[in-house]
A and B are shown apart, each in its own frame.
Chain A
Amino acid sequence: MNTIVRTAISLADVNHHYPGVIQPSLTGFDFSVERGATIALIGPSGAGKSTLLALLDGRLRNWNGAVSVLGNSLDAHTAPSRTDRAKTGFIFQEFALVERASVARNVMNGRLGHTGPVASLFGRFSQLDYDAVDEAIEDAGIAELADKRVDSLSGGQRQRVAIARCLAQEPELLLADEPISNLDPLSAEKTLKLLTQIRQKRDMTLVFSSHQPDLAKRFADRIIGIRAGAMAFDTCASDFTAEMYQDVYGTEAVADNALRLVG
């Protein structure tokens, strides 16, 4: 019994095909993740990272196999219930903010799974909602941006708004799709530090995808390599080697990235 409660994610023989595409996007995924873990997914463009994360977020349809997230089995053909969707937070690769709305408004959007479905349509939210928004804005370090419109922000600032929206949701599982791909090296490191700190503070499970093996190794407990829609390796971060990296990305193109791992 206890093991079920301790498991955040489990997949058994999961396959998926985008309609009209010859190559499958996911084949034979089989792994599980403990609650409280930090997992990095690495793999080249088109490997299937975003597809896998969308599946865990309950937004992918028509897959087969068995998937359970936070103790609930997902259905391949219907979206999860509102409360289940609210338990899983997602940070999108392209931020996915409402450009014309303010930062605070966007962060409040993260509360929509918790608010009254009718009252919220008229802009009425509870004290609980406002408190969660304030705390999320504080945790993401964007207090001074709260009243600005999103279309006036830089990429790094948008990224933090997207993180704040996700935190306002108070999820138990945090899924982040390439959260650092649009950032300079220093901001990238800061963002991962922020995410792992928040994970710890709020006792969440974190799964992120990334193309940066050195940062993945530093911030994750465990790394899963994906190549052409299949798992290439699944390793404890401390056992992650340059060979594994080259195994998914190919040997020549990324020699210096691999070297950074060794160094």
Chain B
Amino acid sequence: MSDRLRHDRSYRGWLTGILIAAAILWAGSGSDVELSRLVEAGPRLAAFLGRMFPPDLSVWPEVQKGILETLRIAILGTFGSVAASCILGPLAADTISPKWINRPVRLLLALMRSIPLILIAMLMVGAVGLGPLPGILAITFHATGMLAKFYAEAIEDVNQTPVDALESAGATLLQKLRYGIWPQMAPTILRDTIFRFELNLRESLVLGVVGAGGIGFLIQTYVRSFQYEKTATVAIAIAIVILALEWINTIVRRMFR
């Protein structure tokens, strides 16, 4: 017995440690990392931040317009991915769809997740032109890869016995969904959707760089033309929206436990 325990821990821990150490050494060994430059970084950063101050609030109207457009893109993109996930999620769930459906659907979702958002956005701009629409489509596509997978997991986690109890009582399929399955997964679905919305908002900040709408366009314009006081105004607007969102998120989660 004790022998078995001793053998069990012999090599796996060491192997993991060696692999991690090797990875760090390899990553740091490239000559172009030049850690020495960190020494001068402090003063430069201070100078940079100095040029952002004081923020130029005169651009607030256009910054506000940009951030609200980003918010709209995130909301509609999330809505689109929720709609798509309501179909693809059940199809990807092991417990309710057969293998020959759920395997290909899962593969599709993994592919959708793996394509970077900015790449999809460029494709969509090519397909439907500049503006918020390609941004919304890109977010919908990209977010569905993750959200549908989350929905499938929420469905798989549903405990079957309460559903059997409703079947036994004479419930119809819809009644079983409404009173047996839905109450078990609702909090998970809600949490996952809000989480994905937060990600969508953060990720859609960059969409404007490729012309797919929102505040990203302003960031790019201001930074390229060294107008750091205006960039600071953008940063403030983004911080306000993200913090407000986190605050709402906390409240909603407390309501649905």
User: Which chain A residues have a beta carbon within 8 Å of chain B's beta carbons?
Assistant: 57-59, 79, 82-86, 88-90, 92, 94, 96-101, 105, 109-115, 117, 120-121, 165, 169
Give, as a whole number of angstroms, the nearest-CB distance from B116 to chain A.
Answer: 37
| Distance to closest chain B CB from A42 (angstroms) | 23
Q: How far is the CA of A169 from the CA of B179 in the complex (A)?
A: 15
Encode B157-192 as 1/0 by CB contact (under 8 A) with A.
Answer: 001011011111111101100111001101100000
Q: Which of A89, A110, A111, A112 has the most CB of B within 10 A?
A: A112
Known contacts A117-B174, A121-B178; is-contact A92 B169 (Cβ 8 Å): no
Note all chain B residues with C-beta closer than 8 A to A99: 159, 162, 184
Known: A109-B171, A165-B165. 10 other contacts (CB 8 A): A57-B168, A82-B170, A83-B170, A85-B169, A98-B183, A100-B187, A112-B170, A112-B171, A113-B170, A121-B178
Interface residues of B in 101-138 (CB under 8 A from A): none
Q: List chain A residues, Cβ under 8 A from B180.
A: 98, 109
Q: Could you tell me the distance in whole angstroms from the C-beta of B209 to the nearest C-beta in chain A?
A: 43
Q: A112 and B161 in contact (CB under 8 A), knowing A120-B175, A121-B175? A: no
Which B-chain residue is minimally distant from A57 (CB atoms)? B168
Can you give 16 A-B contacts (C-beta < 8 A)?
A: A59-B167, A82-B170, A88-B168, A90-B168, A94-B161, A96-B161, A96-B164, A99-B162, A101-B183, A109-B171, A112-B179, A113-B171, A115-B175, A117-B172, A165-B165, A169-B170
Which residues of chain A have C-beta atoms less than 8 A from B164's C-beta?
A: 59, 92, 96
Distance from B138 Cβ to chain A, minimum over Cβ atoms (Å): 35
Inter-chain contact A85/B168, CB cutoff 8 Å = yes
- Residues of A close to B172: CB separation below 8 A: 82, 112, 117
Tell me the B residues contacting A by CB distance below 8 Å. 159, 161-162, 164-172, 174-175, 178-180, 183-184, 186-187
Q: Is the CB of B183 within 8 A of A169?
A: no
Docked pose: A100 CA to B164 CA in angstroms: 17
Among the listed A84, A89, A112, which residue makes an inter-chain contact with B166, where contact means beta carbons less than 8 Å apart? Answer: A112
Q: Which residue of A lies closest to B176 (CB)?
A: A112
Nearest 8 pairs of A and B residues by beta carbon: A113-B170, A86-B170, A112-B171, A96-B165, A85-B170, A96-B161, A90-B168, A82-B170
Contacts of A113 in B (CB 8 A): 169-171
CA distance A90 to B168 in the complex (A): 7
Note all chain A residues with C-beta closer than 8 A to B167: 59, 79, 85
Asked if B168 and A59 sit within 8 Å, CB to CB, the answer is: yes
Minimum CB distance partner of B187 in chain A: A100
Complex Cα distance A253/B82, Å?
A: 57
Verify A98–B184 contact, CB threshold 8 A.
yes
Complex CA gap A165/B164 in Å reads 13
Partner pick for A109 among B159, B165, B174, B187, CB 8 A cutoff: B165
In the assembled complex, the CB of B203 is this many whole angstroms from the nearest CB of chain A, namely: 32
Query: Chain B nearest CB: distance from A137 CB in Å?
Result: 16
Q: In the complex the two chains form, is B168's CB within 8 Å of A100's CB?
A: no
Known: A79-B167, A90-B165. A112 touches B183 (CB 8 A): no
> Chain A nearest CB: distance from B176 CB in Å?
8
Question: A115 to chain B: which residues have CB within 8 Å?
Answer: 175
Residues in B with CB closer than 8 Å to A84 are 170
Contact check, B175 vs A112: say whether CB atoms are below 8 A apart. yes
- Complex CA gap A179/B32 in Å reads 71
- Whole-angstrom CA separation of A190 from B103 in the bound complex: 50
> Which residues of chain B are within 8 angstroms of A79 by Cβ–Cβ distance?
167
Say yes or no: B170 contacts A114, CB within 8 Å.
Answer: yes
Q: How far is the CB of A177 from chain B (nearest CB, A)?
A: 11
Partner pick for A112 among B159, B169, B186, B187, CB 8 A cutoff: B169
Contacts of A82 in B (CB 8 A): 170-172
Q: Which of B161, B165, B174 has the most CB of A within 10 A?
A: B165
* CB-based nearest A residue for B173: A117
Nearest A-chain residue to B257, judged by Cβ: A100
* Distance A113 CA – B183 CA, assembled complex (angstroms): 19
Rounded to whole angstroms, the CA-CA distance of A68 and B165 in the bound complex is 21
Residues of B within 8 A of A169 (CB): 169-170
Contact partners of A94 in chain B: CB under 8 A: 161
Q: Shortest Cβ distance from B174 into chain A, in angstroms? A: 6
- Indicate if the CB atoms of A110 and B162 lie closer than 8 Å: no
Given contacts A112-B179, A121-B174, contact A98 B162 (CB under 8 A): yes
**A96-B184 in contact (CB<8A):** no
Q: Given A112-B175, A112-B179, A117-B175 in contact, is the A97-B170 Cβ separation under 8 Å?
A: no
Contacts of A86 in B (CB 8 A): 169-170
Closest chain-A Cβ to B36's Cβ sits at a distance in Å of: 57
